Amino acid sequence: MFDFIFKRETPEAIKKGNKAIVRIQRFNPEVDEKPYMEEFEVPMTPDTTVLDALHHIKTEQDGSVTFRRSCRHAICGSCAMNINGSNDLACHRPLSESLDYHGKITIKPLPFQPIIKDLVVDRTTFWAQYMKIKPWLIPPDDIPEKEFRMSPEEVEALHNAETCIMCGACYSSCQVVGLNKEYIGPHALLKSFLRTADPRDSIPGERLEIVDGDNGVYRCHTIFNCIDACPKNLNPTEAIETLRKLAQKRLAYEEAREERQKTLNEPIREA
Amino acid sequence: MYRSTGFISFLLRRISGVALVIYLALHMWVIGSVNQGPEVFNARLNAVQTPIFKLFEIALLAAVVYHAFDGIRLLIVHYFDVTDKRKSLFYAAFAIAAILTVAGGVPILMFMLQG
Amino acid sequence: MRTFQLQRYSAIALLIFLTIHMIVVHYPPFHIDFSRIIERLDDPVWKAIDIAFILAVVIHALAGSYMVLTDFQRVGKYKRVLAGLAIVLGVWAMYYGTVTVLNFTPPV
Amino acid sequence: MPNNTITHDVIVVGAGLAGTWAAMVAAREGVKDIGVLSKIHPLRSHSGAAQGGIAASLSNTRPVAGTGPRGPLEQIPPGEEPVDSPDLHMFDTIKGSDWLGDQDAIRILVDDAADVVYEYEHMGCVFSRTPDGRINQRRFGGHSAPRACFAADWTGHVLLHTIHEQALRNNVKFYAEWYVMNLIIEDNICRGVVAMDVLTGEVHTLRAKAVMFGTGGYGRAFKITSNAFANTGDGVAIAYDAGAPLMDMEFVQFHPTGLYRHGILMSEACRGEGGYLINNKGERFMEKYAPDKMELAPRDLVSRSEQTEINEGRGVMEDGQGIFLDMRHLGREKILSRLPQVREIAINFVGVDPIDAPVPIQPTAHYSMGGIPTTVDGQVIANAAGDPVVGFYAAGECAAVSVHGANRLGTNSLLEASVFGRRAGYAIAEFVKGGAQLYPVSGDPAERQRQRIKSLLDRDGDELVEHIAQDLKSTMTDNCGVFRDEDRLKVAMSDIKELQERFKHARTMDKGRHFNTDLLATLEAEHLLTFSEVIVAGALARTESRGAHSRTDFPKRDDEDWLKHTVAHKTDDGPKLSYKPVSIDWEKYPPQERKY
Ligand SMILES: Cc1cc2nc3c(=O)[nH]c(=O)nc-3n(C[C@H](O)[C@H](O)[C@H](O)COP(=O)(O)OP(=O)(O)OC[C@H]3O[C@@H](n4cnc5c(N)ncnc54)[C@H](O)[C@@H]3O)c2cc1C
Ligand code: HEM
Ligand code: SF4
Ligand code: F3S
Ligand code: FES
């Protein structure tokens, strides 16, 4: 942040932009007492991603550098980590755009979760909260031969939540989670919104009851970090706000849902 | 750690809120004594009329104003879909609070210096 | 009604009361003139407004403190104790405040 | 009993669509005790990366009359003629497979398609919709009707999350981050697996009445690939090592539109929605190769066309190894609504916004047609004669039923993983409820794997495992890629043999036990070396060109000699090949010339 004041001489290769220095927080609880930072120098081209850099380090320099990854194009949610102080997916982030004035990038594991090794964190509470909100849809008993009819608008309304890849960037950016792991968390509340808002779901009331508690939507203090952190540009805060409002008129919402479900098997009328 | 506007606003809101609760307790302690006779009341009032308390008063003003406008900002976020404007909203609330604090604080300071 | 809503509604009430309070008590500034307070508090309408103000601020302060404390996971276990405490404290504060306002006798 | 033994009624390895469907269905059918092992968290499985869609002949949309094969689509008003049918789907699939697909399996695939898609929908999958609320469908390469049901361009993602959630709802137990190392087959009866809990590094024996593999594809054997890091073909290598055969391994699909140098997939939907392919002269070169279907010809054909353009010097980018995918004419709105993810990928990885500029692409290893041979119920077969391996099931990309034959059509594989995963689930439930028993395991297989790990970690050669893996990928891409010939395949074979030798001394850098991903990479490299040999052996033997297997020295398809599946068994002197006839309905779908 104050780099422009403390600007020092930058190494030639880094000035030319074909080398970068990657600072990684290392921690192996088997041998280390506490986390420490380690620097690696990696080659860089304009299309090198942060994940590429980590891979280069792992395969050429130090195989014990540990991180999760799989798809490498921002869809599997494995590689969320804390890059230069904010959470992001390593795989979709260009290295050259993440460097400071010294050609350095700082990578740490996701905050607020216990570290297993280096950049790998223990996500037990993350998944426990996911389970708590019952992420599965429960369709009505009367299942048609073909599809339930949903309007393109109804589908569109779910897109904010449907593309969540459960990477946990939001969860680990929220200071409330830092204080209290019993808080359901933005990821699970977003998922809960997805199910609650889906016209095909038949237990919206029960869902609202689950999130309508001290550790549900009311624990969110509207910090907005979850929006800033989300690599898929989703908006958990808005979902939480919506859930809060729905929770206050739960009975009416349940009735509306029952009403909507009566026409689930009929074509949406066109304007 | 995330030092976003959201977090800063949250932190300031908390600090100001807790500070206000403490002030409230103090305030009740002072005003409540009004029915216990003038001596008690004046003693307590005098205890909070020292110059150092005038400085606290400015801090109090800052806390109230910030907390109030941050509260308004939150209420806006709750009832309107404005999460896109989250940064601007915070800056706006902060700026208004800062202006009002200065507007109210300068007279207090002058009052204090004068007497 | 939940703490959350209590806090929002009391906040809205506070916005109104605090504005009034600022104007009538602190404006014009530098004149904490007790005669003014005395005059005002002789009026039962003002007494009612002030009691409502106290109610709002007490609710808001206690709900807020409760929220700040229960945000800590460890404190979460004592939620019920805290809630009980808050109610007792609230009732006492209301009693104290109401008595103060109703019995207000101008200091001589 | 040895220590660290876990038992379940059913063990499923792999939590992609195939594995999760099987587990979910078996649980729903009343099998209580199911354990699903996955080397990565289930939701990270590669199925989630699929973009374009899942095929089913629902006939929900049709081309607007008079706009030609690339024009806009509209919903079919109720009561009007359907444009699609399972029969048409079947024909397209057979033709796409270059007649190597087993037609009995394809029949089931196309007949179950609608049902599976509707079931996804009923379970909560958020499909894109037509204005009257039906599932929207788009065109896809090789399909002669708009048949791909989609959810924008994250279809696989929503399918995977939906089915995973339903499995959770049915109380399936997931073991996330458990790496299966070994399959226990004795006397042709499958008895369990050996797996490492990645977190602790502990090795456990897991016994079960039935084991099902849904371990996904093996695209990671190639340098440029659209596949996730996890797609190292562990399942096929493990099954092969345990004595099960592998079928049609030489058929590896190269997708025409992998992002230049990264290999990351630009969905076929880009072309389905109307994108063009352009060479350095600005020509839409597909005119020359598939005048009818143009860019929407099947993948093998388009990839070969691209590779020909590149080889003849008409490629783009500095090294001439790229081709342009031009979507500018689709317009901003369409790109944003139909291909948002694709656009983001192009921007993030090559810095090109498809709205403003053409995207550089190149063929990328994409899909593994070959795998563990199974019956249409997912039952693994032990030999070309079709005898079963008792208690061993497989489905999805690691299996070869075979519906894709020599070349898979886009959107058919999500369908395959779902249809046959589901069928395997029913078959397993029946098998277990029909009184299957838990067979004993002789010796301590976990201990053998512990020794294997120990010896891998103890090695202190000066070569790194990763370098061997890289060399393997290079030789596979260069010598066993889009175009193949005898000389190059022989080079590949001798390279692999040499690499297998070198691997024996290669060094793993991380010597720790807990969460050792370096060790995993070593085990995966060993698996790559195992099955790559089978790919090359099959490709060398098959002296014809069929589907994705294109020999420049034998450019013609040869039905006389090669209308048969390659079946490979492991022996001490490398893979032993035998052949299995293709199931063909000679009346209805006899082999024809494949022209687009
Ligand atoms: C980029 C891309 C886009 C695609 N798009 C489409 C499309 O639009 N339409 C379409 O029909 N198809 C598409 N496909 C193909 C399709 O996605 C796959 O064929 C299908 O998802 C395979 O599913 P699966 O269940 O067999 O395997 P996967 O989803 O790959 O799952 C494999 C599972 O096995 C586990 N596993 C592997 N090895 C081990 C081990 N040793 N121990 C424990 N667990 C193990 C993994 O953890 C994982 O859970 C696409 C493929 C790619 C690469
Ligand atoms: C103008 C008047 C006020 C408004 C609009 C207002 C608004 C709010 C709002 C909306 C919150 C909720 C914050 C959250 O849930 O994260 C809050 C919290 C709080 N308020 Fe106020 N408030 C006002 C005055 C006061 C006063 C006078 C006090 C002190 C007695 C006070 C003490 C608190 C406390 C302790 C909290 C909890 C802090 C937190 O949760 O972060 N507020 N306020
Ligand atoms: S909401 Fe965004 S940040 Fe949070 S888990 Fe989902 S994709 Fe990740
Ligand atoms: S960061 Fe946390 S507090 Fe709420 S708005 Fe997001 S969940
Ligand atoms: S590797 Fe899959 S999201 Fe980054």
Residue type, D92: D
**A197 within 8 A of A247, measured Cβ to Cβ:** no
Q: Of A121, A152, A179, which marks where a domain is finished?
A: A121
Boundaries of domain holding C30: 3-102
Q: Is the CB of D53 under 6 A from ligand 1?
A: yes
**Pair (A35, A90) in one structural domain:** yes
Pocket test for ligand 5, best of A50, A67, A76 (most atoms within 8 A of CB): A76
Judgement on whether residues A141 and A250 belong to the same structural domain of the protein: yes
Residues A82 and A192 reside in one and the same domain: no
Q: Is residue C107 assigned to a domain?
A: no
| Whether the complex's predicted ipTM surpasses the cut of 0.90 | yes
CA D206 to chain centroid? 26
Long-range contacts of B37-45 (CB under 8 A, 24+ apart): B37/C107, B38/C107, B38/C108, B41/C107, B42/C107
Is residue C46 assigned to a domain? Answer: yes
Q: Are strands D388-394 and D379-381 parallel, antiparallel or unpaired?
A: antiparallel
Neighbour subunits, A (≥3 Cβ pairs < 8 A): B, C, D
A223, A228, A244 ranked by CB distance to B10: nearest:
A223
Q: Name the residue facing A237 among B1, B4, B83 (closest C-beta).
A: B83
- One digit per residue, the tens of pLDDT, for chain D of length 596 reads 445 689 999 999 999 999 999 999 999 999 999 999 999 999 999 999 998 899 999 999 999 988 877 788 999 988 888 999 999 999 999 999 999 999 999 999 999 999 999 999 999 999 999 999 999 999 988 899 999 999 988 999 999 999 999 999 999 999 999 999 999 999 999 999 999 999 999 999 999 999 999 999 999 999 999 999 999 999 999 999 999 999 999 999 999 999 998 999 998 889 988 899 999 999 999 999 998 888 988 888 999 999 999 999 999 998 889 999 999 999 999 999 888 888 988 998 888 999 999 999 999 999 999 999 999 999 999 998 999 999 999 999 999 999 999 999 999 999 999 999 999 999 999 999 998 999 999 999 999 999 999 999 998 888 999 999 999 999 999 999 999 999 999 999 999 999 999 999 999 999 998 999 999 999 999 999 999 999 999 999 999 999 999 999 999 999 999 999 999 999 999 999 999 999 999 999 999 988 87
Asked if B37 is an interface residue toward chain C (Cβ–Cβ < 8 A), one would say: yes
| Contact pairs from chain A to chain B, CB under 8 Å | 46
Chain A contact present for B82, CB below 8 A = no
Look at residues A132, A143, A203, A213 and name the one whose alpha carbon lies nearest to residue D168. A132
Distances (CA, A) of B86 to A240, B6, B72, D440: 15, 8, 13, 63
Q: Give me the helix-helix angle, A152-162 and A186-197, nearest 10°.
A: 170
Residue A83 neighbours by CB under 8 Å, 6+ apart: A50, A90, A93, A98, A105, A106, A107
Q: Does residue C84 lie in a domain region?
A: yes
A143 with A205, same domain? yes
Helix extents (H) in chain B: 5-32, 38-47, 51-79, 86-114
CA of B25 to the centre of ligand 2 (A): 15
> Which of A176, A182, A218 has its CB closest to that of C76?
A182
Query: Considering the domain B5-114 in this protein, what is its CATH number?
Result: 1.20.1300.10
| pLDDT tens for each residue of A117-151 | 999 999 999 999 999 999 999 999 989 999 999 99
CATH number for position A88: 3.10.20.30
Q: What is the pLDDT of residue C35?
A: 63
Cβ distance of C8 and B28 shorter than 8 Å: no
Residues of B in contact with C108 (CB under 8 A): 38
Enumerate residues 481 to 540 of chain D having a beta carbon within 8 A of any beta carbon in chain A.
508-518, 521
First to last CA, chain C: 44
Contact residues on chain C for B75, CB-CB shorter than 8 A:
8, 11-12
Say if the Cβ atoms of C71 and A219 lie within 8 Å: yes
SS3 category, D367? strand
Closest C-alpha residue for ligand 3 atom 3: A230
- Which chain A residue has the Cα nearest residue B9? A223
Q: Which of D581, D543, D500 has the alpha carbon at shortest distance from D250? A: D543
Nearest-Cα distance to chain B for C108, in Å, is 7
Give the C-alpha distances (Å, rounded to integers) separating C39 from C25, C36, C44.
Answer: 12, 5, 11
CA distance B13 to chain C (A): 11
Q: Cβ(B75)–Cβ(C10) under 8 Å?
A: no
In a domain, A2, yes or no: no
Q: Mark yes or no for CB contact C15/B72 under 8 Å.
A: yes
Chains C and D touch (3+ CB pairs under 8 A): no
Q: Which of D212, D215, D253, D422 to mutate to test the pocket of ligand 1 (most atoms within 8 A of CB)?
A: D215
Contact A70, D44 (CB under 8 A): yes
Task: Supply the residue whose CA is at minimum distance from atom 5 of ligand 1.
Answer: D50
Q: At which residue do the structure tokens 């199925």 appear? A: D47
Any domain includes A268? no
**D422 catalytic, yes or no?**
no
Chain C contact present for B100, CB below 8 A: no
Residue ranges making up the domain that contains A59: 11-121
Catalytic, out of D299, D304, D546, D594: D299
How far B72 CA lies from chain A's nearest CA (Å)? 13
Q: What is the 3-state secondary structure (H, E, C) of A99-114?
A: CCCCCEEEEECCCCCC
Say if A271 falls within a structural domain.
no
For residue D339, report the distance from its CA to the centre of ligand 3, in Å: 20
Instruction: Please report which ligand is nearest the Cα atom of B13.
Output: 2
The protein residue whose alpha carbon is closest to atom 1 in ligand 5 is A72
For the CA of D366, the nearest atom of ligand 1: 53
- Altogether, the residues listed in chain C come to a count of 108
CA-CA distance, D272 to D285, in Å (whole number)?
17
Report which residue type is found at A6.
F
Residues in chain B: 115
Domain CATH for C14: 1.20.1300.10
Closest CA to B85 of A160, C11, A87, A227: A227
Specify the number of domains making up chain A: 2
Q: Does A171 map to a domain?
A: yes
Measuring from each residue's beta carbon to the nearest atom of ligand 3, which residues come in under 6 Å?
A 164-170, 186-187, 190, 229-230, 232, 234, 236
Closest B-chain CA to C95: B32
Domain boundary residue among A63, A97, A121? A121
Among A87, A121, A155, the domain boundary falls at A121
Chain A residues within 8 A of C77 when measuring between CB atoms: none
Q: DSSP code of D522?
A: H
Index of the ligand 3 atom closest to the CA of residue A80: 8
Q: Is A124 on the interface with D (CB under 8 A)?
A: no
CB distance D509–A137 less than 8 Å?
Answer: no
Q: What angle do CA D353, D357, D363 make, to 5 degrees?
A: 85
